[in-house]
Amino acid sequence: MTKKGHILRVRDVMKTDFGTIDGIATVAEALITMKTQKTSVLVVNKRHDDDEYGMITVGDIARHVLAKEKAPERVNVYEIMNKPVISVHPDMDIRYCSRLFANYDLVRAPVLENRTIIGMVSPNSLVLDGLYKLVQKEQ
């Protein structure tokens, strides 16, 4: 599919702007943050150095709050978030990252360097940014 030597890394396609929230925040606060930042995914901050990052998506909110008719003001993010999350290294080849997404049915993955999130990657960025760049290089 690609010529030898044309390797794109996750750092080449990741988005560096992403939303964060504390686990103690309410789902109502998460919704406001998502709407304000125009995103459907928020990274849940670590509580301390030995903790792991979490993630909350609109799908989580739909399944665990809306479908169960719970009040968003009475549910905390930590109650419905996914934690720990599968993360990727910025130097990972986008082809392997794409396989990881397919194998685990991921919608987003934080990009971690030195245990700190430096970006987010999604299937859209892998295909529309990454694969598109590879196609352009071959022409």
Residue 26 belongs to a domain: yes
Per-residue pLDDT tens listing for the chain (139 residues): 444 567 899 999 999 999 999 999 999 999 999 999 999 999 999 999 999 999 999 999 999 999 999 999 999 999 999 999 999 999 999 999 999 999 999 989 999 999 999 999 998 888 877 776 767 666 6
- In a domain? residue 125: yes
pLDDT value at residue 4: 52
Task: Look at residues 40, 25, 14, 37 and name the one whose alpha carbon lies nearest to residue 122.
Answer: 14
112: CATH = 3.10.580.10
Q: Would 35 be classed as within a structural domain?
A: yes
**Which domain range does residue 18 map to?**
10-138
DSSP class of residue 49 equals: T
What's the whole-model pTM score?
0.85
Give a yes or no: residue 60 inside a domain. Answer: yes
- Structural domains in the chain (count): 1
Does residue 92 fall inside a structural domain?
Answer: yes
Whose CA is closest to 124, among 138, 110, 107?
Answer: 107
User: Does residue 59 sit within a domain?
Assistant: yes
Residue 92: the pLDDT is 97
| Domain-embedded: residue 3 | no
Q: Please tell me the predicted confidence (pLDDT) of residue 23.
A: 97
User: Quick one: how many helices (H) and strands (E) in the chain?
Assistant: 7, 5
Query: Is residue 80 domain-resident?
Result: yes
